[in-house]
Amino acid sequence: MDRLRLAVLVSGRGTNLKAIIDAVEVGALQAQVVGVFSDRPDPYAFEHARERNIPTVFVDPKKYPSREEYDTALARQVMELKPGCIALAGFMRVLTPVFLNAFPGRVLNIHPSLLPSFPGLEAQRQALEYGVRYSGCTVHFVDPGVDTGPIIIQSVVPVYQDDTPETLADRILAKEHLTYPAALQLFAEGRLRLEGRRVIIDWENRAPQQPRDCVLEWLKNKDIIKEVTPNERSNSQHN
């Protein structure tokens, strides 16, 4: 089976990009990162790509008078790599339908809160100031809104009384690095299906030729997801 061709869009330091690349290397994510795109010149994320000889492309927003024109240019360049999936990893622009319609159902994002709480910028500070006891991260499909698309998986972390936005962000980030590759693997295995705005994860219907189908175990071991397979659910109901 062909590996999922993955394009990653970044703006900054790229720790999620690195986690994705690492997951590919250890076989937890059966994909190939075919290109990394940025709206900023030479972000630190490009270092991670260059280390693995992954092509990097800076698409300069200053060259395009409108968001739509920028997105047209970006989509054209991304399209050249024929990606099966586009992962936003700290990409700081809100994509318009011009871009999203070029890759329907194939653009994912990670956000550092339990959506729909605290969308947009400074999600960790928002969570802290609101006073929630738990926060986390969310991987979701991207729609034209700000962090409003259908939710794929979420991971939870506690919020402590002496947290600062930075300490909370670090705790969430550690979960992000496990959660994003796991969500992408579910996508790669073709297990995600939309019903309205609900994402249904098909745990049963696995492609038999999958070389290393370890994502479910991985998700459980890392305590990423509380979801259980239908069998386990009926067992637990009997207990």
Q: Return the range that interacts with ligand GRF (CB under 6 A); candidates 7-15, 55-63, 99-107, 154-162.
A: 7-15
119 near ligand GRF, rule: CB under 6 A: no
In whole angstroms, the minimum distance from the beta carbon of 37 to ligand GRF comes to 13
13 near ligand GRF, rule: CB under 6 A: yes
Question: Is the CB of residue 33 less than 8 Å from the CB of residue 21?
Answer: yes
Q: Return the range that interacts with ligand GRF (CB under 6 A); candidates 9-17, 33-41, 49-57, 211-219.
A: 9-17
In whole angstroms, the minimum distance from the beta carbon of 207 to ligand GRF comes to 29
Q: Which positions are annotated as active-site residues?
A: 111
Pairing of strands 56-58, 151-158: unpaired
Which one, 12 or 105, has the nearer CB to ligand GRF? 12
CA dihedral 113, 116, 117, 123 (to 10 degrees): 40
Q: Which residues pair with 108 in a beta bridge?
A: 87, 141
Question: Is the CB of residue 203 less than 8 Å from the CB of residue 229?
Answer: yes
Q: How many residues bind ligand GRF (CB under 6 A)?
A: 13
* Binder of ligand GRF out of 49, 54, 110, 216 (CB under 6 A): 110
In whole angstroms, the minimum distance from the beta carbon of 12 to ligand GRF comes to 4
First and final CA of the chain: distance in angstroms?
A: 40
Q: Which residue's Cβ has the minimum distance to ligand GRF?
A: 90
Binding track over 121-160 against ligand GRF, x by CB under 6 A: ----------------x-----------------------
* 110: amino acid identity, one letter: I
113 contact partners, CB below 8 Å, separation of at least 6: 119, 123, 124, 126, 127, 135, 136, 137, 138, 172
Distance CA 119, CA 72 (A): 25
- Rounded alpha-carbon distances, angstroms, from residue 150 to 87, 168, 224: 14, 24, 18
The token pair that represents 139 in the structure block: 């991987």
In whole angstroms, the minimum distance from the beta carbon of 109 to ligand GRF comes to 7
171 near ligand GRF, rule: CB under 6 A: no
Q: Return the range that interacts with ligand GRF (CB under 6 A); candidates 8-16, 46-54, 64-72, 217-225.
A: 8-16
Interaction site with ligand GRF (CB under 6 A): 12-16, 89-90, 110-112, 137, 173, 176
